[in-house]
Amino acid sequence: MTDGGSDWSGKIGEVVLGATAADGGTRKVSYRVGGDDDLPFLGGCTSGHRPLVAYEICDDPGLWPQIVRDYCGDLVNDPASWSKAAEREYGADLIRLSLTSTRRRGFSDFAALGKTVHDVLHATGLPLIIEGSNDPQIDSEVFQQCGEAGQGERLLLGTAEAGRYRSVAAAALAYGHGVIAQSPIDINLAKQLNILLKEIGVPLDRVVIDPYTGALGYGFEYSYSVMERIRYSALKGDQDLQVPMISAASDSLNIKEVREAEPAIRDEMAVRWEFYAALPAIVAGAAIVVVRHPGTVKALRDAVEKMWPGEVTANAAQGA
């Protein structure tokens, strides 16, 4: 292995998340993710940016893990306050807002989505990721609402998939946001989706790959190996894969080991399960990890700070 310098011909591109006042937004901070020219933690301190921990909230807690609802209490009914807590209490780097309301059958209250996004952006100064609908029938309207509500804030909109990427991409292009490109744990499908996005005009410096992450013990090792392969290919020069990755082992809190844990250790179990999927994901090359239990945020940030050889705060691209 190389010492600090690397022999790789490729480099991960950088994606900017969030826009501060200098960029015409209202975020207190913006981040650059990506930029690595080596494998994670191998000389990465000189080139890449510190991995970020996103805390995920939702707008319809009925579709959220019970353990989070129990832990967060009333907050879950108010995305704005919840996001404020994520920033000030849990210590998240950024927020991911999952619009679970759109998953309800017959959903049609599109205006409410715009308002939620607006409220959350008002409540927190952190950059925002939005996870929208996954139904082609309503995608266009949903992403249009989110995109417009977040105009100028450089959001990260998700999720584009090979079968439905046009609506997300259109909103991202129209309102200046980034796109999460999710493929089912396959390096080739990840690459294909990036090509599709590129061809309808989304530049790759606005794309973040979500290689899809299974929960630890429920397929996580496939995700790990695909993230590794994507990183290797990117470093070897495959331009279509030279984008940062986001990893969200979203099923972690729904698995039997967490659900059926003794009440006394349930939260600890939840945090550990999330933690031990997110940390290896970072080791495999994820630039952003997403968790749902507030306790996991601090644990991860502490771990990253210990592992990360450089100045941890220097990664925020203030004024970028």
Partner 1 sequence: MPVVTFLPGYRKATVSEGGTILEAAQKAGLQMNVVCGGQGKCGKCIVQVKSGRFSFDSEKFGRVFSPEEIASGFCLACQATVGGDVHVIVPESSLIQEQKILIEGLGIETEFNPSIWKYYLELTPPTLEDPSPDLTRLLWAIQKKGGPVAEKIYAPLEVLQSAPRVLRDSGWRVTATVALVPGGYRLIDLEKGDTSKNLYGAAVDLGTTTIVVYLRSLVDGKVVGVASNYNRQISCGEDILSRVNYAKKHGLEPLQELAAESINQAITTAANNASIDRDDIYEVVVAGNTIMTHILMGIDPAYMIEEPYVPVVRRYLTTSGARVGLEVDRDAGVFIFPAVSDFIGGDIVADILSCGMAEQEEITLMVDIGTNFEVVLGNKEWMFSCAGAAGPALEGGEVLFGMRANPGAIERVSIDPATLTPSYETINHEKPRGITGSGLIDILAELLRACVIDRTGRINTSIENRRIRTGQYFPEYVVAWKGETAIGKDIVITENDIKNLIMSKASVLGACITLMNQAGITREQIDGIAFSGAFGNYINKENAIMIGLIPEVPIERIRNIGNGAVAGANIALINRKKRKVLDEIARNIAYVELNAESSFMDEYTRAAFLPHTDLGLFPKVEKFLDECRLRSREHP
Chain residues in the site for partner 1 (CB under 8 A): 162-163, 166, 186, 188-189, 191-192, 195-196, 199-200
3-state secondary structure of 212: coil
24: Cβ–Cβ under 8 A, 6 or more apart, which residues? Answer: 152
- Report the nearest approach of partner 1 to the CB of residue 177 (Å): 20
Shortest approach of partner 1 to residue 99 CB, angstroms? 23
CB of 144 to partner 1, least distance (A): 14
Instruction: Indicate the residue among 219 and 295 with the shorter CB distance to partner 1.
Output: 219
Nearest distance in Å: CB 22, partner 1? 32
Give whichever of 189 and 278 is closer to partner 1, judged by the CB atom. Answer: 189
Q: Toward partner 1, which CB reaches closer, 168 or 317?
A: 168
Whole-number minimum distance, CB 65 to partner 1, in Å? 33
Q: How far apart are CA 95 and CA 92, in angstroms?
A: 7
At 141, the amino acid letter reads: E
Q: Is residue 289 within 8 Å of 278, Cβ to Cβ?
A: yes
Q: Which is nearer to partner 1, 58 or 243 (CB)?
A: 243
- Is the Cβ of residue 111 or residue 195 nearer to partner 1 in the bound state? 195
The nearer residue to partner 1, 191 or 266, going by C-beta atoms, is 191
Rounded Cα distance between 128 and 242, Å, is: 22
Work out the burial of residue 292: count CB atoms within 10 Å of its CB; fewer than 13 is exposed, 13-18 middle, 19 or more buried.
buried
Q: How far is the CB of 195 from partner 1 (least distance, A)?
A: 6
Question: How big is the chain, counted in residues?
Answer: 320
Residue closer to partner 1 by CB (options 197, 271) is 197
CB atoms within 10 A of CB 71: 18
CA dihedral 100, 86, 314, 250 (to 10 degrees): -40
Q: What is the nearest approach in angstroms of partner 1 to the Cβ of residue 147?
A: 17
Distance CA(246)–CA(55), nearest Å, equals 13
Cα–Cα distance for residue pair 212/284, rounded to 1 Å: 13
Q: What is the CA radius of gyration of the chain?
A: 18
